């Protein structure tokens, strides 16, 4: 009888898992979610939620989501003997249900005043029973890899290991182009790491028409005789040719063959910014069309605010790269090889990314390596010794970790970026300042690098049973609010359309979609309720029985 295992990546913007056959080493099936089950769009929102509503509740919601994913893998769970979970320290801690306050407040002074003791976050192999609520056989092992520090976790270790960069003796840089943009610079045997909190723009969020990489998402643009050919992800998540449009007004020249576009991914965002800058439609910080927007088709557009958000994200990545180079005492042009990981790092056109400044200007080779977190989890279930490898690497990385929060270099460079993206400061002045500060120079891109796709898509092999996408991972929870008059104020106020109200015989039932809600930092619904009866926590502080199968 074959023994099965599950590899899982808990990402801030969604979860991904694969079922594996331990003997044949085959991938059986793949499941991804289009959102994270906790309300909010970034780790701080998730943490904030855990702090306010309770760590236990946050932990339970994540476990519920994991259970649902396991269900959707369509395997006989009785046979599962191993689950490896990879992700950043925050997600792994929420999964484990351990201390998170040290992750919530990076400021030391605050932590001291709270008396928080950071847990070790070392590698563990534990049994299912130690993770309450997990729907896997009692004897199944749960493998949790170690973290380096609060901002560099197992996901970054995965990136460094899976790219294979350590095995080559050359100056190289690996970057996970996600919300937290972890990066590692290898130079003469030393690894310098950092994390920039670029923000969700690189994953297509906080952009008016932005979305994660799902079928129908615009992931790239190619300029075609003064128009733009949209590249849209098809149902298999493979980029295909979509409509040809004129971005100045969104007119469609030909409809193309592929899927109808429904939104813009992070990589699409980058492509828009670059193509519009090159064609003169963007003259930083302005969009020079009649309505100050770019249009991809009739209903997909891109605003100047989007441009600013994208600029900050791009800028924080470049600022991070420059900071790491300064730490290592090298120039940006000394970097020979770049590894791009994460969903954005896989779908983005490296040449475009380089022109925007997100890939060092003089690299000879760019490797696009896909989701390394998931492949790391896969390796872990097949080979437990990889866990030791991760632990020893974690020790090594602690030597040269650069806390950008404490770096004067980062701060100065990021201000240059802000000025470049939001004030239109010319790049020549940017370079003048770098020189004045004695920082590494920022030369323009050199010859086009060789590009090596180690994967065809973010998750290369979807398994024989293929991909299942869960669009509604958050539970829909119903509650009756005492005193509610069904005035609909909350429904109208909610910026995420997370609330619905059904008028019943003598009361009104309020339903909230947990994964749509942007979290406890918002609470606009509560503030707008004329009877002060809306209580957001009611939708989350419920017993596990109530939430038993919220998706049914």
Partner 1 sequence: MKHSPNSSRIFTRYDINIEVARPKIRDISEDKLLQKVADCVVKGDEEAIESAVKEALKTRSPLKVTNEGLIAGMKEVSRLWDEGIYFLPQVILSSDTMIAGIDLCEDKMGKAVKKKPKVVTHTAEGDIHDIGQVIVNALLNAAGFDVINLGADVPVDEVVEACKLHNPVMLTGTALMTTTMTAFPKIAEKLKELGLNIPFVCGGGAVSEEYVTSFDLGIWGKEASQAPGMAEDALNGLSWWEMRTKWNG
Partner 2 sequence: MKLSSSMAYGSSAEMMFGFARKPVETKQGLTIGGGYVIPEIVPHPRPGSEKTIKTLLREFERANFDALERCVMVGHPHLVVENEHVYQMTANPGWGGEIAAQSVRQTLEFKDKYGLKSAYRSTIADIRKPDMVNLRDSEPTSKVLESFNECAKYSDIISIESLGGKEISDYSLIRNDITGLLFAQAVLGGRDMEWLWSQIVKIAKKHDCIAGGDTDCAQANTAMFMAGGFLSKDIPHTLAALSRAISAGRTLVAYECGATGPGKDCAYENPVIKAITGVPISAEGKTSACAHPDLCGNVMGAVCDLWSNEAVEYNNMFGGSTSAVFAEMLGYDTAAMNSAISLGYQKEYQACLVNSDRYRGPHGFMLCPDNAWLIGKAVVDNNESMYTRARAAADKCGKLMLGDPLLRMTAFEKESLLSYMKEMQSLPDKEEDFIDLCLSKYGKVKGFKPASYGL
Residue 45 or 458 with smaller CB distance to ligand B12: 45
Q: With the C-alpha atoms ordered 20, 26, 28, 29, is the resulting torsion angle positive or negative?
A: positive
CB 273 → partner 1: shortest distance, Å?
Answer: 20
* Whole-angstrom distance, CA of residue 113 vs CA of residue 38: 28
The option from partner 1, partner 2, ligand SF4, none interacting with 501 (CB < 5 to 8 A, set by class) reads ligand SF4
Number of residues that bind ligand B12 (CB under 6 A): 26
Q: Going residue by residue from 275 to 304, which x/- string records binding to partner 2, judged by CB under 8 A?
A: ----xxx------xxx--------------
**Beta carbons of 96 and 131 less than 8 angstroms apart:** yes
Helix axes 89-96, 43-53, angle to 10 degrees: 30
**Binding-site string for ligand B12 from residue 312 to residue 341, where x marks contact by CB under 6 A and - marks none:** xx--x-------------------------
CB atoms within 10 A of CB 122: 12
Q: Is 38 in the site for ligand SF4 (CB under 6 A)?
A: no
Strand blocks (E) in 424-529: 450-453, 467-470, 476-480, 499-503, 508-513
In sequence order, the 6+-apart residues with CB closer than 8 A to the CB of 304 are 285, 286, 287, 292, 293
Among 167, 423, 506, 545, binds partner 1 (CB under 8 A): 423
CB of 42 to ligand SF4, least distance (A): 14
- Applying the rule CB under 6 A, the residues between 135 and 174 that interact with ligand B12 are 151
Please name the residue ranges forming H helices in 152-282. 154-163, 266-278
- Which of ligand SF4, partner 2, partner 1, none does residue 208 bind to, with CB < 5 to 8 Å depending on kind? none
Residue 532 found at the interface with partner 2 (CB under 8 A): no
Complex with partner 1: residue 425 or 455, whichever CB lies closer: 425
CA distance 44 to 336: 34
Q: What is the DSSP string of 299-367?
A: TEEE-HHHHHHHHHHHHHHHHHHHHHHHHHT--GGG--EEEEEHHHHHHS-HHHHHHHTSS-TT-SEEE
- 43 binds, options ligand B12, ligand SF4, partner 1, none, Cβ within 5 to 8 A by partner type: ligand B12
The separation between the first and the last C-alpha atoms of the chain, rounded to the nearest angstrom, is 32
d(CA 219, CA 230): 8
Q: List binders of partner 1 among 379-408 (CB under 8 A).
A: 405-406
By CB under 6 A, tell whether 380 contacts ligand SF4.
no
> Does residue 418 interact with ligand B12 by CB under 6 A?
yes
Query: Does the footprint of partner 2 cover residue 518 (CB under 8 A)?
Result: no
Least separation in angstroms between residue 429's CB and partner 1 is 7
Strands annotated E in 96-179: 124-127, 141-144, 172-176
What whole-number distance in Å separates Cα of residue 220 and Cα of residue 281? 17
- In 3D space, the residue among 156, 155, 153, 158 whose CA is nearest the CA of residue 119 turns out to be 153
Among partner 1, partner 2, ligand B12, none, the one that 313 touches (CB under a kind-dependent 5 to 8 A) is ligand B12
Cα dihedral across residues 205, 271, 322, 369: positive or negative: positive
Instruction: Using the rule CB under 6 A, give the single segment among 71-79, 83-91, 375-383, 514-522 that binds ligand SF4.
Output: 514-522
Within 14-43, the residues that bind ligand B12 by CB under 6 A are 42-43
Nearest residue to ligand B12 on Cβ basis: 106
Smallest distance, partner 1 to C-beta of residue 290, A: 22
Least separation, in Å, of the C-beta of 519 and ligand B12?
8
Residue 490 binding partner per list ligand SF4, partner 2, ligand B12, none, with a CB distance cut-off of 5 to 8 Å that depends on partner kind: ligand SF4
E-strand spans in 22-127? Answer: 27-33, 80-87, 124-127
CA angle 299, 305, 309 (to 5 degrees): 110
Q: Where are the alpha helices (DSSP H) in 164-296?
A: 266-278
Query: Which residues neighbour 102 within 8 Å (Cβ) at sequence distance 6 or greater?
Result: 111, 116, 117, 118, 119, 150
200 makes contact, choosing from partner 1, ligand SF4, ligand B12, none, with CB < 5 to 8 Å by partner type, with: ligand B12
Minimum CB distance to partner 2, residue 304 (Å): 14
Q: Where are the alpha helices (DSSP H) in 348-425?
A: 350-356, 372-382, 386-399, 408-418
Interface pick for partner 2 out of 138, 225, 447, 505 (rule CB under 8 A): 225
Helices (H) then strands (E): counts for the chain:
16, 25
Instruction: Give min distance, CB of 535 to ligand SF4, in A.
Output: 9
- Write out the binding residues for ligand SF4, residues 461-490 only, by CB under 6 A: 481, 484-490
Distance CA 484, CA 488 (A): 9
- Cβ 479 to ligand SF4 shortest distance, Å: 10
> Site for partner 1 (CB under 8 A): which residue of 98, 415, 502, 548?
415
| Window of 173-181, 220-228, 262-270, 523-531 that interacts with ligand SF4 by CB under 6 A | 523-531
Q: Binding to partner 2 by residue 226, rule CB under 8 A?
A: yes
Least spacing, CB of residue 492 vs ligand B12, in Å: 24
Query: Under 8 Å CB-to-CB from 431, ≥6 apart: which residues?
Result: 441, 442
Q: Is 499 in the site for ligand SF4 (CB under 6 A)?
A: yes
State which of residues 524, 537, 538, 547 lies at the interface with ligand SF4 (CB under 6 A): 524
Closest CA to 32 of 462, 453, 348: 462
How far, rounded to the nearest angstrom, does the alpha carbon of residue 140 sit from its chain's CA centroid?
Answer: 28
The residues of the shown chain that bind ligand B12, judged by CB under 6 A, are 42-45, 105-107, 151, 179-180, 195-200, 309, 312-313, 316, 404-405, 410-411, 414, 418
The residues of the shown chain that bind partner 1, judged by CB under 8 A, are 44-45, 47-48, 51, 104-111, 113, 405-406, 411-412, 414-416, 418-419, 423, 425, 429, 433, 519, 521, 524, 527
The residues of the shown chain that bind partner 2, judged by CB under 8 A, are 224-227, 244, 246, 248, 251-254, 279-281, 288-290
């Amino acid at each position: 009888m074959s023994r099965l295992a599950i590899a899982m990546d808990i990402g801030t913007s969604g979860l991904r898992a694969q079922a594996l056959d331990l003997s044949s080493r085959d991938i059986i099936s793949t499941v991804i979610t289009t959102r994270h089950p906790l309300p909010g769009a970034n780790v701080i929102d998730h943490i904030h939620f855990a702090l306010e509503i309770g760590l236990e509740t946050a932990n339970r919601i994540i476990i519920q989501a994991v259970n649902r994913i396991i269900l959707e893998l369509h395997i006989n769970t009785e046979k599962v003997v191993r689950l490896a979970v990879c992700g950043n320290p925050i997600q792994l801690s929420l999964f484990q249900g351990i201390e998170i306050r040290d992750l919530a407040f990076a400021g030391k002074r605050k932590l001291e005043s709270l008396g928080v003791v950071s847990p070790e976050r070392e590698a563990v192999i534990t049994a299912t029973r130690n993770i309450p609520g997990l729907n896997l056989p009692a004897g199944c092992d749960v493998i949790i890899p170690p973290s380096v520090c609060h901002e560099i976790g197992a996901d970054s270790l995965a990136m460094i290991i899976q790219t294979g960069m350590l095995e080559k003796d050359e100056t190289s840089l690996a970057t996970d182009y996600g919300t937290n943009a972890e990066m590692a610079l290898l130079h003469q045997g030393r690894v310098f790491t950092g994390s920039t909190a670029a923000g969700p723009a690189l994953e297509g969020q906080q952009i008016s028409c932005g979305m994660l990489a799902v079928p129908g998402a615009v992931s790239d643009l190619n300029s075609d005789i003064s128009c733009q050919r949209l590249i849209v992800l098809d149902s298999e998540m493979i980029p295909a040719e979509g409509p040809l449009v004129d971005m100045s007004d969104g007119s469609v020249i030909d409809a193309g063959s592929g899927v109808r576009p429904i939104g813009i991914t992070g990589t699409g965002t980058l492509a828009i910014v670059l193509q519009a800058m090159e064609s003169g439609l963007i003259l930083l910080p302005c969009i020079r069309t009649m309505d100050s927007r770019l249009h991809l088709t009739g209903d997909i557009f891109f605003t100047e605010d989007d441009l600013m958000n994208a600029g900050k994200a791009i800028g924080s990545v470049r600022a991070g790269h420059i900071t790491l180079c300064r730490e290592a005492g090298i120039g940006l042009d000394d970097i020979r090889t770049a590894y791009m990981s994460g969903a954005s790092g896989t779908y983005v056109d490296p040449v475009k990314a380089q022109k925007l400044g997100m890939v060092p200007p003089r690299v000879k080779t760019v490797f696009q390596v896909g989701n390394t977190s998931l492949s790391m989890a896969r390796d872990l279930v097949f080979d437990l010794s990889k866990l030791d490898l991760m632990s020893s690497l974690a020790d090594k990385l602690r030597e040269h970790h650069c806390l950008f929060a404490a770096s004067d270099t980062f701060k100065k460079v990021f201000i240059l970026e802000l000025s470049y993206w939001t004030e239109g400061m010319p790049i020549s002045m940017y370079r003048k300042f770098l020189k004045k500060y004695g920082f590494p120079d920022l030369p323009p891109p050199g010859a086009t690098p060789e590009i090596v796709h180690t994967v065809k898509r973010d998750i290369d092999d979807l398994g024989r049973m293929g991909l299942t996408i869960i669009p509604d991972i958050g539970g829909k929870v119903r509650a009756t609010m005492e005193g509610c008059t069904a005035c609909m104020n909350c429904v109208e106020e909610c910026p995420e359309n997370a609330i619905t109200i059904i008028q019943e015989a003598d009361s009104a039932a309020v339903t909230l979609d947990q994964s749509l809600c942007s979290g406890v930092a918002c609470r606009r619904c509560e503030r707008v309720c004329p009877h002060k009866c809306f209580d957001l926590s009611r939708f989350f502080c419920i017993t596990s029985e109530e939430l038993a199968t919220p998706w049914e």
